[in-house]
Amino acid sequence: MIDKTLKQLAQALAAKEISSVELSTLFLDRIERLNPDINAFVTVDREQTLSMAAAADARIAAGTAGPLTGIPIAQKDIFCAEGWRTTCGSKMLADFVAPYNATVIEKMHRDAGLVLLGKTNMDEFAMGSSNETSFFGPVKNPWDRTRVPGGSSGGSAAAVAARLAPAATGTDTGGSIRQPAALCNLTGLKPTYGVVSRYGMIAYASSLDQGGPMGATAEDCALLLNTMAGFDVRDSTSLERPAEDYTRNLEQPLAGLRIGLPKEFFAAGCDAGVMATVQEAINEYRRLGATIVDVSLPNSHLSVPAYYVIAPAEASSNLSRFDGVRYGYRAPDYGNLDDMYMKTRAQGFGEEVKRRILIGTYVLSHGYYDAYYLQAQRIRRLIANDFVEAFKSCDVILGPTSPTTAFKLGEKSADPVQMYLSDIYTIAVNLAGLPGMALPCGFAGDLPVGLQLIGNYFDEARLLNVAHRYQQATDWHLRSPRGIE
């Protein structure tokens, strides 16, 4: 059962080959056995999980089940889940129990009947590319436990790669679904900005954050997106659009598909082994009937500097609510209110979060706003316009997800800029608000390589089709790490 896709698990549950309680117990037992080493989960509550599984079994027996009812999944610990500890990987929220559900939690668990296995580890407040900034310690990559799983959704990626959960959610502000999916041999989708509600998703950078699914296959991601997507009146950035079935185009042939290769993604800076693997994936798409065209994203080299002005600026504003007054950590000793604020924030936040708050506060300060923040927003528009122009000559854009395979734990911790460059191929997608996904396309050495596909606005169904047809022709996504039996 641990190697089955969501569709296969749904069929097994419907055929009464296994119950949701039995399936959930199987994964809970694996978490108990393997998680102490991998550190993918922060919170597991066997009693709550099995209670949800029993309710799912009752829905299946009554004939009121949905397509995914009874399937256990993991949730990134950035989504508030009522009665569950919701930490965002921070000391600031280490003991916070959410009093309400995020919309994603409501849709997936209350409405669709999925079972919550637990909350997964993550970079603190989603700030990181390696899952090393978590207050609860680093997550290890199941493919090589001396290496990072990627971040910030590293716990979700490691959990699915190690078969501790059949699928999981992540969030993506600058690559935080796609990069860990690539480093852990998974399929991960960041939808168009506004497709998935951000209500109850603890904010990092509000104009960039977007929740999305992570699983073994594109079909799994399509099924999960069906449960996650939709308008939400409680989120002012949620888009009111007709509901769609993201599985509808999965089997469509790729003949006539135009795949754009941005010359900027294929220049120097990418590991040779990664690039060779991506080139072989391009050849596979040619065999599937796609046409390859050259495109350009001339301002993409500005995406990292623009992002590291805009995202910290928004973080500086969003994280001002963590002040020790209403909820979360409060410094035990202080002299007055100002002293309490300063000590609480100094003790409650980790180094990377403090770094980004300081940067963000600086670029928003009087005299620097125009020079930095406003300029970064202008660059953001140029980057978005590059994509608009590129999509005039192609249907999807293809390239590497990450410039390297998974790097060693601690390798980039002392050099923040090197860490930030891990997301050089993913950040532009968030700045433009486009959908993007990563999928397995081979190995460099013994480590997974992820292919990135970028689509036009609201073109998730096409992206999933392009990924699905590739996965029907290859078996990279079926490979699993050794030593996780």
Per the CB < 8 A criterion, the answer to whether 50 and 142 are in contact is no
Specify the length of the chain in residues. Answer: 485
Q: Which residues pair with 449 in a beta bridge?
A: 442
Distance (Å, whole) CA 182 – CA 189? 11
460: which residues sit within 8 A by CB, 6+ positions away? 189, 191, 192, 195, 225, 246, 435
Distance (Å, whole) CA 108 – CA 74? 11
Whether 76 sits among the annotated catalytic residues: the reply is: yes
Cβ count near 173 (within 10 Å): 27
Residue 258 DSSP SS3: strand
Distance (Å, whole) CA 68 – CA 162? 21
Residue 66 DSSP SS3: coil
Distance (Å, whole) CA 150 – CA 408? 11
Whether 152 sits among the annotated catalytic residues: the reply is: yes
Q: Of the residues 20, 24, 130, 152, which is catalytic?
A: 152
The token duo for 312 is 């910290």
Q: Of the residues 90, 130, 134, 176, which is catalytic?
A: 176
Bridging pattern class, strands 396-400 and 258-262: parallel
Exposure string of 372-402, with b = 16+ CB inside 10 Å and e = fewer, is bbeebeebbeebbebbeebbeebbbbbbbbb
Q: Of the residues 24, 76, 140, 303, which is catalytic?
A: 76
User: Which residue, among 146, 152, 119, has the nearest Cα to 31 in the 3D structure?
Assistant: 119
Distance (Å, whole) CA 396 – CA 453? 7
Catalytic residue numbers read: 76, 152, 176
